[in-house]
Amino acid sequence: MELTSLQAFLFIFLLSLYLYIFFLRPKSKNTTAHGFRIYPLVGTLPDFLRNRHSFLDWSTGVLSGCPTNTAVFRRPGKVHGVITANPQIVEHMLKSNFENYPKGPRFRILLTDFLGKGIFNTDGELWRIQRKTASYEFNTKSLRNFVMENVYVELHTRLIPILGSAASTDRVLDVQDILERFAFDNICKVAFNVDPGCLGGDGTAGGEFMQAFEDAATLSSGRFMYALPTLFAIKKFLNLGSEKKLRKSIATVHEFADEIIRTRLEEKAEKKDEDLLSRFIANSENSAEFLRDIVISFILAGRGRHRLPCHGSFGCYPQGQMWRKEFCKNWKIFVDKREIHW
């Protein structure tokens, strides 16, 4: 009996000491001087739990205090990784020696429900096939003209009228939302040759596919934020919380994409489109599921790449007449250098 009481006392004492050291003790002012603070057994977990809702800000602050802008991030169970903000290291890994840095099983497991075997979730031969085809096709004149024509139509029939209407009626617009819809309509045209109409009407029409896509992308990347790697698998098995919403969002995205691919496969002998999907369909060895994974990955890439320059332009626009003149001058130089056919 006395032994049991002593064991209970020791357990409570050690637990209290652990909680105080890792959670209640005041932070040192120099916690980011040499990277992430790593504790015995639990690694970076205590600081991660405190900062995971502002992970980017926190990790940026930590990396800025490191001489190489690079730090080791450790979790329980010998799970660890290296986080870097060093441009030379990023170039080395993503450009110069990409094949030496595979994504690995953990990365693929977390993203496979959404991205499948798309370019962002594969290595080796599958990655090379998609990279080679996309690189070649995006450098063809026909696809470049197809992109420019669709952007021109979306710009002049939707974006400009919406902005003009808002200006004439003093209506407040969520410019970020408008530009995201503009980018999403364009990238879907390039990928599928299908117009989801996210920017139709007053700029708030449609968007079910866009919203499902955004939710699926956000929730899938959110799996990396779990304190323990197996927690997402438990929630997925029980169909709870964010995993339930993710499953529904992915189902909506897949249903939309599968219907388009099914229709396109049936008519491929009769019709030749210039979109990216048609280019991959030309290879009869690609299954419908693989085609879906390819297109979803390219939509994911395009939706961010197209909207960020627009956000930057609108952010600088209020700075004055001088900036606007410089912007127009540079844009004219850019257009004059390109052979564009409407």
Q: Give the DSSP H or E segment for 71.
A: strand 70-75
- Say whether both 318 and 170 belong to one domain: yes
- What does residue 25 show for φ and ψ, rounded to 5 degrees? -65, 135
- The token duo for 318 is 């209020």
Q: Please report whether residue 117 resides in a domain.
A: no
Which residue, 84, 101, 118, sits at the end of a domain?
Answer: 101
DSSP 74: E
- What percent of the chain is predicted at pLDDT more than 90? 20
Which residue, 101, 118, 150, sits at the end of a domain?
Answer: 101
Q: Please report whether residue 74 resides in a domain.
A: yes
Highest mean predicted confidence (pLDDT) among 35-49, 74-88, 244-258: 244-258
- Say whether both 51 and 185 belong to one domain: no
Per-residue model confidence as pLDDT tens digits over 226-250: 887 788 899 999 999 999 999 999 9
Q: Which pTM value belongs to this model?
A: 0.73
Q: CA-CA distance, 103 to 94, in Å (whole number)?
A: 11
Q: Please report whether residue 110 resides in a domain.
A: no
CATH of the domain at 187: 1.10.630.10
Determine the pLDDT at residue 339: 47
Q: Please report whether residue 106 resides in a domain.
A: no
CA angle 15, 16, 19 (to 5 degrees): 85
- Say whether both 144 and 239 belong to one domain: yes
Please tell me whether residue 206 adopts helix, strand or coil conformation.
coil
- Say whether both 79 and 139 belong to one domain: no
Q: CA-CA distance, 176 to 5, in Å (whole number)?
A: 61
Per-residue model confidence as pLDDT tens digits over 155-168: 888 888 888 888 88
Q: Please report whether residue 299 resides in a domain.
A: yes
Q: Please report whether residue 211 resides in a domain.
A: yes
Q: Please report whether residue 342 resides in a domain.
A: no
Per-residue model confidence as pLDDT tens digits over 174-227: 888 888 888 888 888 888 888 888 887 655 556 788 899 999 999 999 998 888
Q: CA-CA distance, 230 to 223, in Å (whole number)?
A: 10
Residue 106, CA distances (Å) to 56, 130, 337 in order:
20, 21, 45
- Say whether both 97 and 161 belong to one domain: no
Which has the minimum average pLDDT: 56-65, 137-146, 232-241? 137-146
Tell me how many domains the chain contains: 2
The whole domain housing 313 covers: 131-336
Which residue, 81, 101, 121, sits at the end of a domain?
Answer: 101
